[in-house]
Structure 1
Amino acid sequence: MTMLAGRLDPTAGTFGMRTVPIPEPGPGQVRIRVRAAGVCLSDVHLIDGSLRPAFLDAQEVTLGHEVSGEIDAVGPDVPDQWLPGVRVVLEAGERCGVCPQCTRFRTPCLAVRTRGVDYDGGWAEYALATHHTLVAMPDTLSFEEAAIVPDAVSTPWGAVAGTGRAEPGRPAGVWGVGGLGAHAVQLLRMVGAAPVVAVDPLDAARDRALEFGADFAFDPADPHFGEQVAAVTGGAGLDVAYDMAGVGAVREQAVRCLGRDGRLVLVGLTPEPLTIPNSIAVSIRGTRILGHYGSRAGDVERLIDLIRYGRLDLSRSVSGTLPLSEAPEAVKALADKQGNPIRLILTP
């Protein structure tokens, strides 16, 4: 039995759709019939080589770290709650199980394995998942919306509520209102940050930011940009700024917008060096620069509950769906920002 899958060879730098064997679940694993899988800029960067898997032990990997579907088959040693037909969303990664933190039952894991990067993901008709990475999803939530929770929503949630510690009534800025940034704006408004300032060079992205709950949306190239941020924060500057774009110039600009004890959170991934033009100001203001990756244990479950009870609306987040066979076209559309997408979804 075979299936279609989107396969990347990181060494050769090649990506394409291939027919591969349908996997069989081993101990502690289930096989998922994939119903929806998100296309993320990280996937684009894996294909173009600017990101590389850290722990891949095979020549190729099936991409896709945002996945939802139904349990199709169950391996041995899986808890009874996970039965064929149960609707689930998959965590975007899992603990390595061998680092000192894991062997001592501590968090965080020092070498988290990412689905669709370090092991096979969900750009396929079927995918394997260990049972502790499964999150049950309500019948009221579509597979398309559920699929994006494990990264497009949970990563900014981890940055907003965790790493950046955004607070009610305190000003926050988001640079880059794409798949991550649009949800960061929505989540900042939900936790009460005020004002929420969105920054993006695209008119359509700034309009989207206002629709998602930003109080202000500015063009970073505007010659009066610094004055605009100062005006809306009463001259105090931002309490926290989030780089969702992974661009060096963004980080330099965001640092300059921070107030006393301000925090810059690096969410967008880039191999570019981090440069701070004026480190004296950073020292005097007590600025902190914080790296962020992924989300914390339990975040996906919490977000699913927020959706279940109507606190979080993802109905505007799916920009379009394409058949799994058109994964290369979806990657190109996202890379070229065709239609200014938030998230494109592949459906097997």
Structure 2
Amino acid sequence: MDDTNAQPSPQLLTDITFDVVRKGYDPGQVDELLERIAVAVGQMQERLRQSSAAAEAAERRAADAVRAQSALQVRITELENAAPVAPPAPSPEIEAEQAASVLALAQRTADAVLADARAAAARLVTDAEAESSSILAAAQARAEASIADLDDRRRRISAEIDALSVFMDEQRAVLAADLALISAMLDDPSALRVAPIPVGADATEEDAVDASDEFGTVPSSDLPTMAVPVVGAEADTADPAEDPELVVGDSEEPAAASAAEEVPAPIRPTTIFDVEQTEDRLFGDEDDAADEAMRRFFDADFDDDDRFGR
């Protein structure tokens, strides 16, 4: 802001400029306030000009009265020095009284005019100061209310930013855990296989469900390839050591079940999962693209990300 020593005027208040800084006042509100103050100052200056003009007029009238008094005094002197003529002039005492009366009247008139002008000027100045104080107090109250509202908004926005930061941290942790799980599954494809179903005369559907939950299996709908049952001679000839992709159930009958039954229970087909692989990869190109996108997301540097106030 320039012209700090200049006298206040409507033009100065209208042309004044402020540097725009962060967390400052609203420029529109400041300009509106300055315009209103400029109008008020202009009105006060106009009233002061009118008062000054009235005072000057009163002074001129007083000066005219003084000049009239001087002229009258000169006329009295001329009359006193003039030769007597007929008819006889009034006595000097009467003329002196008349002149003194005229002078007193002129003096009283001048004093009254000056007193009225001074009183009017004082009233105008008092009214202007009171109105200016009222305008400044109202403007200060509005500015304080605006500052309080801006502070409240800043606190709310700061709280939202903190909440978003916490949410982002939580989501990063969740995504990191999911990525770790996916990486573990990619490193160990056997984690996708289903544990063997319990067999035997006493095995129930509830036991099978509990066993599946205990071994942490996943639903078959979530697997890349559906299960291929192996029955009969194929189940007997399958060798887990030769085929690492096959998970064979427990082929030995419990001793208690064999002793209790004279006829051994029929062997239930063992469920296996033949995971289809293409070029030694567990998933296809779309899955690899998704995995690469997730890796790029977690490898990115978010320290300079200012979208959430960080």
The reply to whether TM is greater than 0.5 is no
Q: State TM-score, norm by structure 2.
A: 0.16
Structure with higher helix content: 2
Structure with higher strand content: 1
Higher relative contact order (CA 8 A, sep 6+): 1
Q: State TM-score, norm by structure 1.
A: 0.15
